[in-house]
Structure 1
């Protein structure tokens, strides 16, 4: 889980998911109110979570699986990805460039 670099407050799963779904890089710590940024390493890891269901969709489509099965696996993949994202979430005091 994400931990504030200022006050060492560990964010809970619900707060982490809520912050992830805002699609903003800057977030305020719910405990101390200081601005925190998603680390570059964390952003790269989270992008893998998002692309994995799309790659599964592509592979299953190429292998001619029934559309209903492809859609079910893709939706479940996105749900599992979103549920797992907060566990690999890291914060930083300053905004880091991706490259």
Structure 2
């Protein structure tokens, strides 16, 4: 779980997950009020993990699976990636560019 770089408090799973669904770059720490940003390394990790369900597309096409089974193959890994997002999230007090 991510830890605020300003106050050192550990964020909850739900607070960390909310950061992934917001379109703004920084999120204010609910303990100290300081704005926190996702680190560059953390952005790369989450980008790579989110590609896993997409990489399953050739498997589904080659195996010619039913629609229900195809959706299951996509949804289960996607839910796992979303659930694991707070564990891969790292915070910084400074906004870092992606590259």
- Per-residue CA deviation, residues 21-54 of structure 1 (Å, 9 max, x unaligned), is 1132211111101011100100010112211111
Unaligned runs of 5+ in 2: none
For residue 35 of structure 2, what is the aligned residue in structure 1? 35
User: 3-state SS of the aligned residue for 1:83?
Assistant: helix
For residue 74 of structure 2, what is the aligned residue in structure 1? 74
Distance 2:61 2:90 in 1: 34
What is the TM-score normalised by the length of structure 1?
Answer: 0.91
Distance 1:73 1:57 in 2: 9
Unaligned runs of 5+ in 1: none
For residue 47 of structure 1, what is the aligned residue in structure 2? 47
- Per-residue CA deviation, residues 35-85 of structure 1 (Å, 9 max, x unaligned), is 111001000101122111111133222332222211111011111110011
User: 3-state SS of the aligned residue for 1:98?
Assistant: coil
What is the TM-score normalised by the length of structure 2?
Answer: 0.91
Q: Which runs of 4+ in 1 moved over 6 A?
A: none
For residue 87 of structure 1, what is the aligned residue in structure 2? 87
For residue 7 of structure 1, what is the aligned residue in structure 2? 7
After superposition, the CA RMSD in angstroms is 1.2
Distance 2:83 2:61 in 1: 24
